[in-house]
Structure 1
Amino acid sequence: MSGQGAPQLQVGKVGDLRVAVVASLWHQQVMDGLVAGAQRALDEAGVHDPLILRVPGSFELPVVAARLARANYEAVVALGVVVRGETPHFDYVCQAATDGLTRVAVDTGVPIGFGVLTCDDEEQALARAGLPGSKEDKGYDATQAALATVVALRNCYA
């Protein structure tokens, strides 16, 4: 697992934040775990009533994240999963989602929690989904990263 060496983020209570979570619909069991992990991280940070939107797939995440970032959300968490198949489609979707979400963050200055799993098979996705028996909880991790980045940006201007 690549989770070795990950930082232990301490976000604290940031309940005044406007946070949106945008999640794809593909691979429902994995996505339900990622969304639950995101919600758990938001609850711990005292963020109440986040906007949670579902989109068809990971390819659609950047356009929705961009709209949310421009609608005064202070953080957007993007959750998705792409499982390798027999065609290059996997490569195109992974690249588009990664490049698109990076562009949204840089162009808007709004932290984007990157919770897009890019896996060779369903087993790898389940191991990262934060479900019972999973080794990692990437929905939680992506949300904490977005919240910690908001805090860091606030400290830059304090």
Structure 2
Amino acid sequence: MQASDKGVPKSQAALDGQTLRIGIVQARFNDAITSRLAEACIAELRLLGVAEHHIRHVTVPGALEVPIALNAMADSEDYEALVALGCIIRGETYHFELVANESGAAVTRVSLDNQIPIANAILTVENEQQAWARAEEKGRDAARVAVEMANLMEELQ
């Protein structure tokens, strides 16, 4: 049965998190920013109906460690969707590109290998000002993406 068949507009049903379990992995590097991402994400998940006890939030040192924690959560089969949170700010060396590219590719690989939606909100920005300008909205966006994609995957199976 499709969401629209239940008398609920598809867009509203797609954002119904009442039955979902969501895992969040937050990188602690640039902690003030990533904590703001996490706060906004968790608040939005609650607004979408995800029960407090169905949200698992863990932290890891940095963006390169996010995928391995996501993979462990995916392997557990305890979650309908996952969220990756982090903040990579460009510096003066090639390290920014390495971390941004490798963390992004690894998050995608975990999602595809495990057939689990992962909302990737690892910010890649030029400076701290850009990160702060995006943190709250991207945290909320990640929650909405996780819920919508979890519901879509359920519908497609």
Give the TM-score taking structure 1 as reference length: 0.86
Partner of 1:142 in structure 2? 142
**For structure 1, which runs of at least 5 residues remain unmatched after alignment?**
1-8, 131-136
Equivalent in 57, 67, 71 of residue 62 of structure 1: 67
The answer to whether the aligner puts 1:17 opposite 2:46 as a matched pair is no
Q: Give the letter for the 2:135 counterpart.
A: A
Higher helix share: 2
1:126 aligns with 2:126: no
Deviation of 1:37 after TM superposition, in Å, equals: 1.1
- The alignment partner of 1:129 has SS state of helix
Query: Per-residue CA shift, 1:83-133, capped at 9, x if unaligned?
Result: 001110000000111000000111101000100000010000000011xxx
| Whole-angstrom distance in 1 between the partners of 2:154 and 2:91 | 42
Partner of 1:108: 114
Letter in 2 for 1:124: Q
Amino acid in structure 1 at the alignment position of 2:57: I
Q: Distance in 2 between matches of 1:74 and 1:12?
A: 13
Cα distance, 1:44 vs. partner? Answer: 1.1
Paired residue for 2:83, among 77, 80, 87? 77
- Counterpart CA distance in 1 for 2:142 and 2:46 is 14
Runs of 4+ more than 6 Å apart: none
Q: Aligned residue for 2:41? A: 38
For the 8 Å contact 2:83–2:146, the answer to whether it is kept is yes
User: Bigger radius of gyration, 1 or 2?
Assistant: 2
TM-score (norm 2): 0.87
The question of whether the paired residues in 2 share the 8 Å contact of 1:62 and 1:100 is answered with yes
Percentage of pairs with the same residue? 33
**Aligned residue pairs, count:** 143
User: Superposition RMSD on alpha carbons, in Å?
Assistant: 1.2
Cα gap change, 1:147 to 1:12, in 2 (>3 Å): closer
